Structure 1
């Protein structure tokens, strides 16, 4: 079980990819978001393109970093809180 957890934790880390050019210089491979911020290979973000919203992962395709859709929609942390006034009134009755 510990081995399985260790292996799964490796997949959670963003994959780092470095390209060594013919001149011997290391060039990092990464994607960028709409603000130009660096997103490492393997990281996932929520993208909105042409009115569509989806979760995408930064991946390599034909030696070019690109965004690949991994699921429709995006995870949200929005939570509907119960109406506390109504809850207090019902519990007082």
Structure 2
């Protein structure tokens, strides 16, 4: 098994994260899958050359994420890939 392009952050329930990662606990609860699943999808699609909004739209239409959740996942991945 290969390491993910963008590993999921460790989230301490006592210290709520800021920025896009603040959505991750809600995303996991709402969709029943670990955040790494969504990060991997976004990272793969960005690596294929899709734009931010194309990946957001794919997460919404193909996977049922809400706009805010999809945008948070893509923004987090893009920031980590750039960083």
TM bin, normalised by shorter chain, reads under 0.3
TM-score (norm 2): 0.25
Q: Which has the higher contact order (CA 8 A, sep 6+)?
A: 2
Which is helix-richer, 1 or 2? 2
Q: Which has the larger radius of gyration?
A: 1
